[in-house]
A and B are shown apart, each in its own frame.
Chain A
């Protein structure tokens, strides 16, 4: 049984990843004009977002999500798959879940 804190964490991480992934097409347009600091910070933060994705995968597998969160999680994975060409072009890494 997930605690309230875990469910809140799941909510925050789902929102964070949804926003990050939705932004990928626009990011791809800007990619070559990013400053060194901006480019590097994006890669570092992307890696952290992927840490959140691993956390969500564990929460999903262990049933620590509400039905609504499960739907959002599956939609997130579908969006990641849809944007795979962008992810590959930007050489971003995505963990195997």
Chain B
């Protein structure tokens, strides 16, 4: 299993594709290997994206953000979902947000869904938010990982819970493990 951030090892990638396209059931050990890899890679550390209007006016690292400011995705999604939308409890730090996502990925009770979205395979891991549910949050925390880019692409608490995963744009859905 590769530890290089942003790369899905050929073993793990092949396992996921076999599971999706041929209905191959992964062993618990194989699934655990894949999930440990995904927990490590995180958001793309080399990317930048616009803060946009939702984050404008927030104070972050000693400055007041403007909509056109560029941020690493991990910071942008922390500010969006934890600070602005209050999906996590008040006072949740940047590190605690990232740790809560890793916990969901590594939690054996979390569901693991592979599906196609916008023409490429994605792995979605979804587990109960528990104590991490804030006033604007929901019962579940969901992480989306895109195989083609090898990073998390977003992580939030979907308003509609598990129903969120039924959007028609998400096709060829296969549960590798159902949430329980």
Contact = CB atoms under 8 A, between A and B. Distances in A.
Interface of A: 5, 8-9, 12-13, 16, 19-20, 22-23, 26-27, 30, 34-41, 43-45, 47-48, 51-52, 54-55, 93
A9 B135 contact: yes
A14 to B, nearest CB: 11
A19 B148 CA distance: 30
26 contacts: A5-B135, A8-B136, A12-B135, A12-B136, A13-B136, A13-B159, A19-B53, A23-B53, A26-B52, A30-B50, A35-B49, A36-B120, A36-B148, A37-B146, A37-B153, A38-B47, A38-B73, A39-B118, A40-B117, A40-B120, A41-B144, A44-B153, A47-B167, A48-B159, A51-B160, A54-B160
Given A48-B156, A51-B164, 12 more contacts: A5-B135, A16-B85, A19-B53, A20-B54, A36-B149, A37-B149, A40-B153, A41-B144, A41-B154, A43-B117, A45-B156, A51-B160
A5 B137 CA distance: 11
Contact of B118 (A12, A20, A22, A43): A43
A54 B167 CA distance: 14
B101 to A, nearest CB: 14
A20 to B, nearest CB: 7
Interface of B: 44, 47, 49-50, 52-54, 67, 73, 77, 80, 84-86, 117-118, 120, 122, 135-136, 144, 146, 148-149, 151, 153-154, 156, 158-160, 163-164, 167, 169
Contacts of A30: 50
B47 A23 contact: no
A38 B49 contact: yes
Contacts of B144: 40-41, 44
A48 B80 CA distance: 13
From A27, A35, A45, A52, residue with most partner B Cβ within 10 Å: A45
A8 B154 contact: no
Contacts of B118: 39-40, 43
B104 to A, nearest CB: 16
B50 A16 contact: no
Given A37-B47, A44-B153, A47-B164, A12 B85 contact: yes
Contact of A43 (B156, B164, B169): B169
